[in-house]
Amino acid sequence: MNPLVEKLTLDEKAGLVSGAAFWTTRPVDRVGIPSITMTDGPHGVRMQRKGEDHLGINASEPATCFPTASLTGSTWNPELLRQMGAALGDESRALDVDILLGPGVNIKRSPLCGRNFEYLSEDPFHAGVLGTAFVQGVQSRGVGSSVKHFAANNQETDRMRVDAQVDERSLREIYFPAFERIVREANPATVMCSYNKVNGTYASQNHWLLTDVLRGDWGFEGYVVSDWGAVVDPVAAVAAGLDLEMPSTGDRSPEAIVAAVRAGTLDEILLDQAVSRVLGVHERLRGSQDAEASADFDAHHALARTIAADGAVLLANEGNLLPLDPSEGGQIAVIGEFARTPRYQGAGSSHVNPTRLDEALTEIGKRSSRPVEFAPGFSFEGDSDDLLHLEAVDLASQSEVVLLFLGLPDRDESEGFDRTHLLIPETQRTLLAKIAAVNANVVVVLSNGGVVTLDSIVGVAPAILEMWLAGQASGGAAADIIFGISEPGGRLAETIPLDLAHTPAHVNWPGENGVVRYGEGFHVGYRWYDATDRPVAFPFGYGLGYTSFSHDDLSVSVADATVAQATVQVTVTNTGQRAGSDVVQVYVTDNTASVARPIRELKAFEKVWLEPGEQRVVTLTLDERSFAFWGPTGWTVEPGAFTIHVGSHSQNLPFQNVITLDVEAPTPMLDNSSTLQEWASHPVGLPVLQGAMSNTGQPADALTNEESLPLFGSMPLRTILGFAQQSAGVSFDIDEALQQLLGAVDDASGVATSSR
């Protein structure tokens, strides 16, 4: 307990767990407790000195607008995420911000989520590795990070109150691991709870989430802050493990907490613990901050440009149309309003006032000595663009190559609402078809936060460059890639489907009557497409570059088969004529699982940069969690065969190696509802049950022989005992009999193997 707590009055303690204003906490000057400032967000510091709001409506101080998470996730580059985090930490300090609200590590359950641009991935391992690096970078500068939104916050529709009903295994395997990794490896200052309910209880007052899992299972040492306005009942929230409600509710929440303590409905020790956690984090942050703070905005702009190129995904490049020669060749037509008016960030709470803004049209002109002409092609205001189409098609017909900038306007995706389809606007699709009819050399450059279906583009445009929402340096990064100054280094962090109806959450989206059921379970993203054998437009992990690579000499070694660990080595060679990056991806298949498992899961990756002809041995480690699933007793690794796949994306894994783990088989738990089959399969339960049968004068295998077990195996033993009681005409306490059997199992095992 923080020693300051005992010096505080009840009113002061209640005030410390509720904000003072929109972005600040309450000070207690008489004991030297300062106010702490927080602000958004995950890709830029949105510091508002006046006109505060939580949806990015009012102005904020200039700060570097880095690429959004849809792009940074596509970098597969933890080091760049760490550098970005450090830069954001520097800017936070320069703007007197103590805690930065980010990163967002919610899983991309559906491509329709309007806030997917703020989230890193459809895969929990991938999101966890990148999110950890980001938090480490931010906090290396003495600024706290707030990892959000915990938990199961995967849609904007009815987000303030929807009940996300998710089975525990899916939570543990898909929706929790990114948070867990960050908590264990980066020690974030805060975790932000989400608005929604999780299995019937608001996240802000969910004791299982905030106390049992976050603190009990993972050892979280920071404090839990609410999403802005997420607290429904401040007393229940404190009791559940929430430490700070934001923003201020005036005196309403503090007064309710004080009244509850005085009435005995809230244990004051729970309030003291919350205050202690808040003070501990704030003291840690203030103790690690330098007296002088500054930010190099020019260097940060250059970093934003590097990141934007590293996360841009080259989806198609037929005939090696890209990169273009900046000096040799005919006229270049730049078409599309996005080239002149870039869409480089999403709308909502993460909206940043950039320090500067690179426009693709200007940057292309700077780099090219070839003639460059522009036509807007379409407007953002409406879909009646016939005259603009005519002008653009005429320009395309007179040019050697067309750079066509397409994408989603702000009105199509944002925090606060979900998308209803995956299409780019019809006017843009029509324009592409018209241009392709007069010019075969079309490069489509996309600007969008969430994925779009590409059936109107693939096969029409020979080159497709997905730039996502690439931040304030997006225009420069696009020009760098187009002319080969930079390589498109991105690999998809989410599957691009052929059709919305193919997506895993489609039949349950977005729920009804205040409830959304995660009926797809752990089959999210590529796990779903693998399990259902559905074709996709572009798979998870996919991305082209300007060079080529080979993977050779795969080896997988297991030092001790009784320990679930393995080392993967593969030799990567740049077989092309240019320097470039390759992402080695390792997936694991459990060949002998006793439960349903995904076909394969990403468990390791590494991005390497190689010069032409350069060769490097990449070594990756698979730990116990790489082989585990969540079972009734927790994380479980079963003995048996596992296939290790290595390749360039989730559907291109040509290198495979099978290993066998001889780990100790997990002992299943028995309880009052266990079936006869579960008793018969239990190494201790079977002899205990057979002994009990013998003691009644029955054959030991009367219930477990080859005739009885198929007939009665699926029945709970409790039910069978009830039938036996009736048929024998004897009276005995069924609950007591079960407890005796379960106790005998524990005694024979020497450990608690039953749940009584």
Domain boundaries, the chain: 5-287, 309-532, 549-661, 670-755
Summarised one tens digit per residue, pLDDT across range 71-120 is: 999 999 999 999 999 999 999 999 999 999 999 999 999 999 999 999 99
CB 516 within 8 A of CB 509: yes
What are the beta bridge partners of residue 225?
Answer: 192, 244
Q: DSSP label at 668?
A: P
Query: Which positions are catalytic?
Result: 227
For residue 169, give the H/E element and its range: helix 168-170
> Which of 262-271, 349-358, 741-750 is most confident?
262-271
- Output the pLDDT for position 720: 83
- Output the pLDDT for position 130: 99
3-state DSSP helix/strand/coil % of the chain, to nearest 5: 35, 20, 45
Residue 50 pLDDT more than 70? no
> What is 309-532's CATH superfamily?
Glycoside hydrolase family 3 C-terminal domain (3.40.50.1700)
Return the structure tokens found at 724.
């036996």
According to DSSP, the β-strands at 655-661 and 640-647 are: antiparallel
C-alpha 476/C-alpha 472 separation (Å) is 9
Compute the mean pLDDT over every residue in the chain, rounded to the nearest whole number.
94
Return the structure tokens found at 418.
């979900």
Q: Up-side HSE of residue 562: CA atoms within 13 Å toward CB?
A: 1
Residue 725 pLDDT more than 70? no
pLDDT band at 57 (very low <50, low <70, confident <90, very high): low
- Output the pLDDT for position 689: 84
| 549-661 shares the fold of 5-287 | no
Selection from 288, 303, 385 nearest residue 336 by Cα: 385
Cα radius of gyration rounded to whole Å, the chain: 29
pLDDT band at 41 (very low <50, low <70, confident <90, very high): confident
The residue whose two tokens read 């201790």 is: 684
pLDDT band at 149 (very low <50, low <70, confident <90, very high): very high
C-alpha 94/C-alpha 289 separation (Å) is 11
Summarised one tens digit per residue, pLDDT across range 548-593 is: 999 999 999 999 999 999 999 999 999 999 999 999 999 999 999 9
C-alpha 409/C-alpha 475 separation (Å) is 16
C-alpha 81/C-alpha 84 separation (Å) is 5
Q: DSSP label at 664?
A: P
CB 373 within 8 A of CB 334: yes
- Helix or strand or coil: residue 570? strand
C-alpha 455/C-alpha 690 separation (Å) is 63
The more confident residue out of 618 and 691 is 618
Integer CA distances (angstroms), 160 to 58, 153, 229, 518, in order? 22, 10, 9, 17
Q: How many helices and strands, by DSSP H and E, does the chain display?
A: 22, 28
CATH topology of domain 549-661: Immunoglobulin-like (2.60.40)
Q: 2: left (phi > 0), else alpha (psi -120 to 50), else beta?
A: beta
C-alpha 341/C-alpha 664 separation (Å) is 61
303: Cβ contacts below 8 Å, ≥ 6 apart: 66, 83, 84, 87
Furthest-apart CA pair in the chain: how many Å?
99
CB 235 within 8 A of CB 260: yes
- Cα angle 223, 228, 233 (rounded to 5 degrees) comes to 75
C-alpha 359/C-alpha 341 separation (Å) is 7
Query: What's the mean pLDDT in 495-502?
Result: 98
Burial class (CB within 10 angstroms; exposed 0-12, middle 13-18, buried 19+) of 138: buried
* Amino acid in the structure at residue 94: A
pLDDT band at 706 (very low <50, low <70, confident <90, very high): confident
Selection from 112, 148, 152, 151 nearest residue 131 by Cα: 148
Selection from 413, 410, 418 nearest residue 343 by Cα: 410
pLDDT band at 755 (very low <50, low <70, confident <90, very high): low
**Strand runs labelled E in 591-733:** 601-610, 615-622, 629-631, 634-636, 640-647, 655-661, 670-671
- Output the pLDDT for position 191: 99
- Helix or strand or coil: residue 754? strand
C-alpha 98/C-alpha 93 separation (Å) is 7
Residue 58 pLDDT more than 80? no
> What is 5-287's CATH superfamily?
Glycoside hydrolase, family 3, N-terminal domain (3.20.20.300)
Residue 693 pLDDT more than 80? no
Residue 731 pLDDT more than 80? no
Selection from 537, 480, 464 nearest residue 313 by Cα: 464
- Output the pLDDT for position 686: 85
Residue 728 pLDDT more than 80? no
The more confident residue out of 364 and 743 is 364
For residue 223, give the H/E element and its range: strand 223-226
The residue whose two tokens read 């009840």 is: 10
Q: DSSP label at 704?
A: T
- Output the pLDDT for position 729: 60
For residue 241, give the H/E element and its range: none
Residue 706: count of CB within 10 angstroms of its CB? 7
Helices (H), 447-603: 474-482, 526-532
pLDDT band at 711 (very low <50, low <70, confident <90, very high): confident
Q: DSSP labels for 13-78?
A: HHHHTB-SSSSBPPPBGGGTBPP-BEEE-TTS----SSS--SSS-S---EE--PPPHHHHHHH--H
CB 162 within 8 A of CB 155: yes
Omega cis (within 30) before 654 = no
Share of the chain above pLDDT 70, in %: 96
* Amino acid in the structure at residue 345: Q
Query: What's the mean pLDDT in 613-629?
Result: 98
C-alpha 385/C-alpha 579 separation (Å) is 42
Omega cis (within 30) before 237 = no
C-alpha 358/C-alpha 308 separation (Å) is 12
* Alpha-carbon 602 to chain mean position: 13
Residue 263: count of CB within 10 angstroms of its CB? 9
The more confident residue out of 731 and 508 is 508
Summarised one tens digit per residue, pLDDT across range 285-333 is: 887 666 678 899 999 999 999 999 999 999 999 999 999 999 999 999 9
According to DSSP, the β-strands at 353-354 and 62-63 are: parallel
Summarised one tens digit per residue, pLDDT across range 500-516 is: 999 999 999 999 999 99
- Sheet holding 190-193: strands in order across? 38-40, 99-101, 144-150, 190-193, 223-226
